[in-house]
A and B are shown apart, each in its own frame.
Chain A
C-alpha cells in the first residue's frame, strides 16, 4: 500500500503541492487527473523518489520513500528509452540492474518475451528512432513491467500519440493491469477525463495553484465494461459529469486568479 500523509513541496517559494493526503491500496489503478501545472507530475516524481517532499511522508508498504524507489518503475511521455541503444538493449539494461545474477542469455530471453507481450516481437534489434511513437511507448511499457516492481508510475504516457494508437495502448495497459491479478499498483497521470474513466479504478482530481486533492472517486465498477459499453453506462456518465464540474470549477478559478499575471514582465 502507498500511504501519503500531508505531502507538501514548494519550488522557489511557490507552493506546488499543498498537504496531499492519499492512500493507494495494493492492486489499485489510480488516475491522477488535473490541468497542467497542478503538480500531478511532481507528485509522481515524489512517489518515484526522484524528488523529496518538504514536509509530510510517503511510504510504500510501510517503508519511507528515500531516493529512487526500487519498488517503482516509471514511463514518461517521451525520452523513456535511451536512443543510443537498441530496444532490446534498453530492456536488458533495466533487467540487468534489477536482476544482476541472471546470465546474458536469460536476460535476453526475458527481454524478448516482454517485447512480444506488448506486440513488439520484431523490434529487439531496432533503435528507438526507427520506431513510431506508439511503438516506443510499447517498448517503454515492456521495460517498465519487465523488472520486478509492484508499482508502475506513468506520466502522461500517451499524451503525444494519435487517437488510434492511444486507444490501443490504453487497452494494452488495462489488460496488463487486469492480468496482474492485483499484484501491480498503477499510478497514471493524465489530463484526459475519458482516459481516467476508462483506465482508473480510482480517480483523484487535483486542483491547481497550489496543487491539492479536490476529489477522490471510486471507479472500480468500470472494469466490468468494455470501452463502447462504458461510455453508454449511466453511472459512468454521472461520474464523468461530476469530475468535469470539479475540473471546470478549478480551471475557472485559475483563469480568474489575478496573481497569475504580472504587469510588465511579459513579452
Chain B
C-alpha cells in the first residue's frame, strides 16, 4: 500500500466517522425536540411549535423561502466578492510598500474595530437605496478582516522565498502572482473565513432593518405576527444555506491550500 492509498483510506474513514457521528447527534437533538413538543407538550406550543407544525410551514412557504434566498444572495455575493477583492488588493499593495504601511497602519488600527452594525442607521441615512447601504455594511464587514489578514500574510512571508524570487529575477506581476499572493494565501483564507461568517450576520441584521425580501426579512416579518413555526422554519433554512456556503468555502480552501496540509 503506497502512502497515497493509505492517506486516501484514512481520509475516507474519517469522513465516514464524521458523517455517521454528526447524523446521530443531529437526529438525537431533533428527536429530543419532538419529544418535548409534539409528544409530551412540555414546552409552550406557541413559542415552540412542534415539527408537525414547522415542517408543513416550511413546505408551504418553500417558494417564498427560495425567493428570499435569491434576494439575499443578490445582496451577499456582490458585497462579499467586492470586499474580498478590495481587501486582498489593498493588503498586497500596502504590505509590499513598507513606507505606505507605516503611514496607513494607525488609520487601519483605528477604523478596523468599528463594528459595521453600528454604521447601519447612518448608512441607510446617507446612501440612496436600501440595497446599497446593506451592501456597503457587508462590504466593510468583509473588507477589514481580509485586509488585515492579507497584510499579515505578506509580512509573514518566508524571507527566503522573497530572496529566491529576487534571485530568479522575478519582478512586477510575476512576483505578485507567482510568489507573494500564493505565499500569503493561508492567512488570506483565514481572513476570508472570518469575513464570510461575519457577512452572514451582517446580511441578516441588515435585512431585519428595512428589507422587503430576503431570509433575514422572512424571519423578522413572521416574528412580528408571532408565527413562530415560520420563524423556526426560516432559521433552519438559513442555517442550511450557511452550512452549504461554508462547505463550498472549505472545498475551495482545501484545493487552493493543498500545499500547506502536508508540509
Q: Residues on A close to B: CB < 8 A? A: 45, 48, 50, 68-70, 72-74, 76, 78-80, 82-85, 93-94, 97-98, 127-130, 147
- B residues lining the A interface (CB < 8 Å): 158, 160-161, 163-164, 166-170, 174, 178-179, 182-183, 185, 258-260, 262-263
B contact patch SS: helix
Instruction: Write out the residue numbers on chain A whose beta carbons fall within 8 Å of the beta carbon of B258.
Output: 127
Q: Which 10 A-B pairs have the closest CB atoms?
A: A79-B160, A84-B182, A68-B166, A129-B262, A74-B167, A83-B259, A84-B259, A129-B263, A94-B168, A97-B169
Number of A-B residue pairs, CB cutoff 8 Å, is: 61
Contacting pair B174 A50 (CB below 8 A): no
Structural contact, B160 and A129, CB atoms closer than 8 A: no
**Nearest chain B CB to A78's CB is how many angstroms away?**
7
A97-B169, A97-B174 given as contacts; is B164 within 8 A of A79 (CB)? yes
- Determine the chain A residues whose CB is within 8 A of the CB of B160 once the complex forms: 76, 78-80
**Could you say which of A45, A78, A98 contacts B163, with CB atoms under 8 Å apart?**
A45
Which single residue of chain A is at the shortest CB-CB distance from B165? A82
Bound complex: CA of A151 vs CA of B164, how far in Å?
15
Chain A's closest residue to B260 (CB) is: A83
CB neighbours (8 Å) of B262 from chain A are 127, 129-130
Which residues of B sit under 8 angstroms from A127, Cβ to Cβ? 258-259, 262
**Residues in chain A near residue B158, CB distance under 8 A:** 79
Instruction: For A93, give its contact among B163, B168, B185, B259 (CB under 8 Å).
Output: B168
Closest-CB distance, A27 to chain B (whole angstroms): 21
Known: A84-B185, A127-B258. A97 touches B161 (CB 8 A): no
The reply to whether A80 and B164 contact each other, CB–CB distance below 8 Å, is yes
Q: How far is the CB of B128 from chain A (nearest CB, A)?
A: 43
Which of B163, B183, B262 has the most A CB atoms < 10 Å from its CB? Answer: B163
For the complex, give the distance between the alpha carbons of A70 and B164 in Å: 12
Which residues of chain B have C-beta atoms less than 8 A from A79's C-beta?
Answer: 158, 160-161, 164
